[in-house]
């Protein structure tokens, strides 16, 4: 029996997580080979307003007992964004050594890419999720004077670079992608990016059947817009990967359909699966949030736990729902969150 911790969070988080859980419930009812149970945690901004913290003191210990985490979104106007993020998402990512952030950018049949690309877009971004540019090393001098100086250090380790490189190449090999493209800027960032480049090149020698290319991040961003169909696996540092993955999600139809995974590849800790989008305060309570990113995140979670068949059932059901244009307003439709969720479940049940 696998145990899943569910944290719906704030805003549209609970609205879309409800649809994912209803989908999971139906799959479990219809198939004994899917052996999972789940527990829902009410952590987030409401919890913070009541208790003065985003989650209980022993929350990480509680979560350790689970095999995976399904997360919705957080963010609430009544709580500063740095509190919501640094007291809930970041501790989970860091404590559970989820040093891989994985985001597929796969164009679903029926969703028109804003780029009007005629070829199929299907690439994945593997982002380093634990070190790099997002370190809190640094500081200010002479704050609020004309002489003010701010320094923010990038920290890269050979081990960290090689681990994400190896993950990217293994992923390409296992999923039949023929190329790995590394995002770099070693012409201008001469120390850390040089280490990144050397690590990627070293790792690439062990994967001679996979084409390897190292491309400057600026040119890479441009070609992701002009020729998105040519990419397979894109591996990038924390900052570059953050930007590229939002670009990737934009070229295949937007935030409403983009899932992600924060992975601890060793399996020592639970990995966490969540949509790329946030709590969407502008549409909360209207019943029009697109549940696809959340349901797709559930499919990634099930695949991670070894339930590939069930993951594929969900993906096919999502594709068929989109093909039939049963979609929410962000994709040009007029269906509600619940109607889209139900349409996906109907198709999954018929699979
Ligand atoms: P956002 O992703 O919440 O919303 C951006 C735009 O996309 C909005 O117009 C929203 O309506 C739309 N959108 C997002 N998800 C959608 C869905 N499923 N269906 C239809 N439309 C959707 O990003 P924003 O506005 O920058 O941030 C809002 C709050 O969310 C902030 O507090 C922010 O800190 C937080 N946030 C949390 C994240 C997380 O929980 N991992 C990630 C990003 C933002
Ligand atoms: Mg981002």
Confirm if 298 and 273 have CB atoms less than 8 A apart. Answer: yes
Last residue of a domain, one of 227, 252, 277: 252
Please report which ligand is nearest the Cα atom of 258: 1
CA 163 to chain centre: 18
Confirm if 200 and 214 have CB atoms less than 8 A apart. Answer: yes
Residue 309 CA to ligand 1 center (angstroms) comes to 30
Strand-pair category, 100-106 with 122-128: antiparallel
Q: Are 225 and 283 in the same domain?
A: no
Last residue of a domain, one of 192, 223, 252: 252
CA-closest candidate to residue 132, choices 116, 111, 153: 153
Residue 224 CA to ligand 2 center (angstroms) comes to 17
Segments forming the whole domain that contains residue 331: 1-102+262-351
Does the beta carbon of 331 lie inside 6 Å of ligand 1?
Answer: no
**Residues with CB in 5 Å of ion ligand 2:** 242
Residue 291 within a domain: yes
Residue 108 within a domain: no
Residue 284 CA to ligand 2 center (angstroms) comes to 20
Residue 192 within a domain: yes
Pocket test for ligand 1, best of 9, 75, 101 (most atoms within 8 A of CB): 75
Residue 171 within a domain: yes
Q: Which residues, at least 6 apart from 310, have a Cβ–Cβ distance to it below 8 Å?
A: 27, 31, 34, 299, 302
Residue 238 CA to ligand 2 center (angstroms) comes to 10
Please report which ligand is nearest the Cα atom of 17: 1
Q: Which residue has the tokens 């109907």?
A: 346
Please report which ligand is nearest the Cα atom of 241: 2
Residue 146 phi/psi, 5° resolution? -65, -20
b/e map of 270-308 (b: 16 or more CB within 10 Å)?
bbbbbbbbbbbeebbeeebbbbbbbbbbbbbbbbbbebe
Residue 71 CA to ligand 2 center (angstroms) comes to 15
CATH of the domain at 309: 3.40.718.10
Token pair in block for residue 315: 């993906």
Q: Which residues, at least 6 apart from 120, have a Cβ–Cβ distance to it below 8 Å?
A: 107, 229
Does the beta carbon of 277 lie inside 6 Å of ligand 1?
Answer: yes
Give bridge partners of residue 261 from the DSSP assignment: 102, 273
Give the largest CA-CA distance in the chain: 68
Does the beta carbon of 279 lie inside 6 Å of ligand 1?
Answer: yes
Burial of 168 (0-12, 13-18, 19+ CB in 10 A): buried
Q: Are 171 and 82 in the same domain?
A: no
**Would you write out the chain's pLDDT as a tens digit for each of its 351 residues?**
999 999 999 999 999 999 999 999 999 999 989 999 999 999 999 999 999 999 999 999 999 999 999 999 999 999 999 899 889 998 999 999 999 999 999 988 877 777 666 678 999 999 999 999 988 799 999 999 999 999 999 999 999 999 999 999 999 999 999 999 999 999 999 999 999 999 999 999 999 999 999 999 999 999 999 999 999 999 999 999 999 999 999 999 889 999 999 999 999 999 999 999 999 999 999 999 999 999 999 999 999 999 999 999 999 999 999 999 999 999 999 999 999 999 999 999 998
Residue 62 within a domain: yes
Looking at the structure of the chain, the number of domains it has is 2
Give the angle subtended at the CA of 148 by the CAs of 142 and 154, to the nearest 5°.
105
Q: At 287, which helix (H) or strand (E)? A: none
Residue 263 phi/psi, 5° resolution? -115, 135
Does the beta carbon of 74 lie inside 6 Å of ligand 1?
Answer: yes
Q: Are 121 and 239 in the same domain?
A: yes
């Amino acid at each position: 029996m696998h145990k899943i911790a569910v944290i719906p969070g704030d805003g549209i988080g609970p609205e879309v997580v409800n649809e994912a859980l209803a989908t999971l419930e139906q799959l479990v009812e219809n198939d004994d080979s899917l052996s999972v149970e789940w527990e829902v945690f009410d952590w987030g901004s409401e919890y913070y307003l009541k208790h003065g913290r985003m989650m209980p003191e022993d929350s990480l210990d509680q979560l350790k007992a689970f095999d995976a985490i399904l997360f919705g979104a957080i963010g609430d106007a009544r709580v500063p964004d740095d509190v919501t993020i640094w007291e809930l998402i970041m501790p989970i990512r860091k404590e559970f050594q989820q040093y891989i952030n994985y985001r597929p950018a796969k164009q679903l049949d029926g969703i028109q890419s804003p780029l009007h690309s005629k070829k199929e877009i299907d690439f994945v971004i593997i982002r380093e999720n634990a070190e790099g540019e997002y370190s809190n090393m640094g500081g200010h001098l002479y704050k609020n004077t004309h002489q003010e100086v701010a320094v923010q250090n990038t920290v890269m380790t050979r081990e960290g670079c090689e681990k994400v490189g190896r993950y990217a190449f293994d992923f390409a090999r296992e999923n039949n992608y023929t190329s790995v493209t590394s995002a770099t800027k070693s012409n201008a960032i001469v120390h850390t990016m040089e280490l990144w480049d050397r690590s990627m090149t070293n790792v690439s020698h062990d994967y001679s059947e996979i084409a390897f290319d190292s491309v400057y991040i600026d040119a890479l961003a441009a070609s992701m817009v002009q020729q998105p169909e040519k990419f397979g696996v894109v591996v990038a540092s924390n900052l570059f990967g953050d930007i590229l993955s939002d670009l990737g999600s934009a070229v295949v139809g937007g935030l409403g359909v983009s899932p992600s995974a924060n992975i601890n590849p060793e399996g020592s800790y639970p990995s966490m699966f969540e949509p790329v989008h946030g709590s969407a305060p502008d549409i909360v309570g209207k019943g029009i949030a697109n549940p696809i990113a959340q349901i797709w995140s559930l499919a990634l979670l099930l695949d991670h736990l070894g339930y590939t068949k069930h993951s594929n059932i969900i993906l096919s059901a999502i594709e068929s729902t989109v093909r039939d244009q049963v979609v929410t307003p962000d994709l040009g439709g007029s269906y509600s969150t619940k109607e889209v969720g139900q349409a996906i479940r109907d198709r999954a049940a018929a699979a």
